[in-house]
Amino acid sequence: MSLSALERRITDAIAARRDELVALTCDLIRFDTTARGVGDKARDEADLQEHLAQRLRGAGAVTDVWEPVPGEVAGQRLVPAGLGFDGFPQMVARFAGSGGGRSLLLNGHIDVVSPEPVQEWTSGPNAPEVRGGLLYGRGACDMKGGVAAMVVAAEVLSAQGVRLAGDLLVNTVTDEESTGAGGVASVAHGVRADAAVVTEPTGLHVGVAFRGSTLATVTVPGRAAHATAVQPHWTEGGGVNAIDKAVTVLDALRRLRDEWRTRPDHRHPCLPPPNVMVTTMTAGQWEVSYPASARLTCHVTYLPASADEQGCASAVQREVSQAILAAAGSDPWLAEHPPTVEWGPDCPPAEVDPDDAIVGVLKAAGDDLGHGTNVSGADFWSDAVTFNRQATVPTVVAGPGAVNIAHTVDEYVPVDELVACAQAVALTAVRFCGTAS
């Protein structure tokens, strides 16, 4: 499908706003919206949201900027106990359609991960800079560049006098990097559409499947003793090195990971197999003492087919726990003093039918712009999962930049991809929502 005269006018107008698109991305990077934990004070989240709301109101949208109240998200597993929203507003802007068309939601998160180690950046993480066609700064790729692209796409449609038949919504949320609470709050607030695009970094390809993830904390017991003194056997009260015993757990997890990679029930056409990885380990209490315990954090990913009826990782969690305890049973000390396994946050998986309308429209838009768009898995969690599962809105990810550049020192997004993303989003809106006759 080639571009119509209207579509060519829209894409040309976006190309003409290249410098404005870069400037908006830079503006967003300058706001400090580093991801928070429970109890952390707000930074520039409210100022950034109002900045976007003002722009979109100026383009003709009706905007809603609100701070969710705890009751709206109470009991949601992605919202930690004690997390409040004072100073952390969500924003949705609605461009009303003329009627009779499908509605489209554009979503992005405004929080970014910590810029540490700051001293290693070529330019400051909140001091955006373009070098060699790449825009550098914390959040350039993940995902303030994507947010800027969808905002400019909506603004250009309005400026060009395009009246969509269906509503177009632009939704920006907090807390995606830390909890997912902003997306949950938006769904609870009633943000809905017939389909959605989250402009996370995918190199402009369309992501339709997402692995879930959950965290385990494994505590391996030892017995404190003086490191210099010759110790009797543990059955006679001698010291036990918890780090040595943790090797049993590490080996068990490695075997489980290798098994998962070969099992037929852990294969997916768009996603890699599930994985279990130890990401942190702390042990010991004194330099000359046997470590009395070792504490391991394990990151576990799982496929949509492995989720239980509630979309949770209960079966996967049982399998990991059983593998650890079975291995512990082969060690005399651990058999009598088994490790404990505590499960933390559980981010569910999701997938969209590759034949869904939004997938076809978005891919065709990218192809017609010459992107050579692929339909594949997006091997990272995003708010797309929340809209898919909690709002039953078919939601895909497609945005500028590469996810392997996210969270890195000297994070960047190609300026050409910012423009291309805005063009693809605008085309998708025109084709999916339709235009007023």
Helices (H), 17-144: 18-30, 45-58, 70-73
Residue 277 has φ and ψ, to the nearest 5°, of -135, 130
Helices 18-30/415-433 angle, 10° precision: 100
Q: Tokens 């955006």 correspond to what residue?
A: 128
Question: Which H helix or E strand runs over 333?
Answer: helix 332-336
Task: Catalytic residue, from 7, 45, 167, 176: name it.
Answer: 176
Helices 145-159/45-58 angle, 10° precision: 20
What residues have CB less than 8 Å from 113, skipping those under 6 apart?
34, 35, 138, 142, 177, 406, 407
Torsion of CA 196, 199, 202, 207, to 10 degrees: -10
Asked if 111 is an active-site residue, the reply is yes
Residue 324 has φ and ψ, to the nearest 5°, of -65, -50
Residue type, 156: V
Q: Note whether 115 and 178 are within 8 A (CB).
A: no
Q: Note whether 83 and 75 are within 8 A (CB).
A: no
What residues have CB less than 8 Å from 272, skipping those under 6 apart?
211, 377, 379
Q: Tokens 């991801």 correspond to what residue?
A: 35
DSSP conformation letters of 89-155: -EEEEEE---SSS--EEEEEE--B----SGGG-SS-TTS-EEETTEEESTTIIIIIHHHHHHHHHHH
Q: Note whether 291 and 219 are within 8 A (CB).
A: no
Task: Catalytic residue, from 7, 45, 111, 417: name it.
Answer: 111
Q: Note whether 324 and 252 are within 8 A (CB).
A: yes
d(CA 400, CA 416): 9
Distance between start and end Cα atoms, the chain = 21
What residues have CB less than 8 Å from 332, skipping those under 6 apart?
none
Q: Note whether 368 and 361 are within 8 A (CB).
A: no
Asked if 176 is an active-site residue, the reply is yes
| Total residues found in the chain within this entry | 437
Residues marked as catalytic? 111, 176
